[in-house]
Amino acid sequence: MGFISQRKICPFCEYPEMIINYKEYKVLRKFLTEQGKIIPGFVTGVCSKHQRHITRAIKRSRNIALLPFTTDYRDI
Amino acid sequence: MKYYETVVIIHPAIEGGMLKDSIVEVQKLVEQKGGELKNTEVWGRKKLAYLIDKQKYGTYTMLQFIGDKIKINEMNVELEHNPNVLAYMTIKIDETEMREQTGDLDTQIDGQAPQAEAEETVVSSEEKTVDKTPEVSEDETKAIIKEEGDDLPKVDEPETPSSDESEDSQDKEN
């Protein structure tokens, strides 16, 4: 069996009109787990440059309570 | 010239005229510390992702300002001691992220409630238009029904097994 590469394409490289900003918390929520952890880039397919931007934006929006630091495990 | 942006979460109990006063207070603070205000946006009442001072909601306000020698640290200390402010964040931004002022503070504060009503009116008008379209073309609809008459039995076929499945699922539950 031949190995077929299924490398994911970074959505932010594919669509440059998508903006990474701490105000766009609905977009950033896709890159968090249910527990509120940041999903690594190799899972989501985001390139390292945009992963750095996402990480910074998530940490900013956590600071002003737009995104959670963590969730209460009793709520899940 | 440096470009800054401050987001302030104001206590949810403060509304109307009191809200305007507290926003003006923050604006004066920015100008007092050497900033030149360019834009103020009231995002409105939002649910917080976690409790701050035992509060679930907060009114978000964003201020954009420019300046060379702004005393950001002193400004943050003043905001920290302000009882009306639940949380705040000041960051340095790029020139391209600056937005132009749209509407006065009064219209932005008052505009939050009417926006929801306006959306409702739009939805109701859409419903009216949907209702009107079949009334206009009665003959056409009859023709369409005749044309689609052959297809009707095909549509019914998949529905019957689905109903059986639902009955089966009910039986399993019971």
Residue ranges of domains in chain A, CATH in brackets: 11-63 (4.10.640.10)
CATH number for region B2-105: 3.30.70.60
At A8 the pLDDT is 81
At B106 the pLDDT is 83
Residue type, B94: D
What value does the mean pLDDT take over residues B123-137?
Answer: 50
> With an 8 Å Cβ cutoff, are A63 and B87 in contact?
yes
Q: Which of B89, B92, B94, B99 to mutate to test the interface with A (most CBs of A within 10 A)?
A: B89
Q: Which residues of A touch B48 (CB under 8 A)?
A: 65
At B124 the pLDDT is 52
Higher pLDDT, B101 or A5: B101
pLDDT higher than threshold 70 for residue B110: yes
Give B109's pLDDT tier (boundaries 50, 70, 90): confident
- The ipTM, to two decimals, is 0.84
Sheet holding B36-52, edge to edge: B36-52, B55-67, B2-10, B85-93
- pLDDT 10s digits, B32-82: 999 999 999 999 999 999 999 999 999 999 999 999 989 999 999 999 999
What value does the mean pLDDT take over residues A22-37?
Answer: 93
- Cα separation values, A72 from A11, B35, B77, B129, B133, Å: 30, 40, 31, 46, 50
A35 inside 8 A of chain B by CB:
no
Q: How far is B127 from chain A (nearest CA, A)?
A: 29
A4 inside 8 A of chain B by CB:
no
- pLDDT 10s digits, B82-94: 999 999 999 999 9
Q: Which residues of B touch A20 (CB under 8 A)?
A: none
Q: Which of A29, A60, A64 to mutate to test the interface with B (most CBs of B within 10 A)?
A: A64
Total residue count of chain B as it appears in this document: 174
Compute the C-alpha angle A57/B9/B4, nearest 5°. Answer: 55
CA B83 to chain centre: 25
Going by the DSSP 8-state scheme, the letter that residue A38 receives in this structure is: B
At B73 the pLDDT is 94
CB atoms within 10 A of CB B54: 5
Give A57's pLDDT tier (boundaries 50, 70, 90): very high
Alpha helices by DSSP H, listed for chain A, are 11-14, 25-28, 41-44, 48-63
At B17 the pLDDT is 87
pTM exceeds 0.95 for this model: no
At B113 the pLDDT is 55
pLDDT higher than threshold 80 for residue B162: no
A47 inside 8 A of chain B by CB:
no
Higher pLDDT, A35 or B111: A35
The half-sphere exposure of B119 on its side-chain side, counting CA atoms within 13 A, is 5
Higher pLDDT, B71 or B106: B71
Where are the domain boundaries for CATH 3.30.70.60 in chain B?
Answer: 2-105
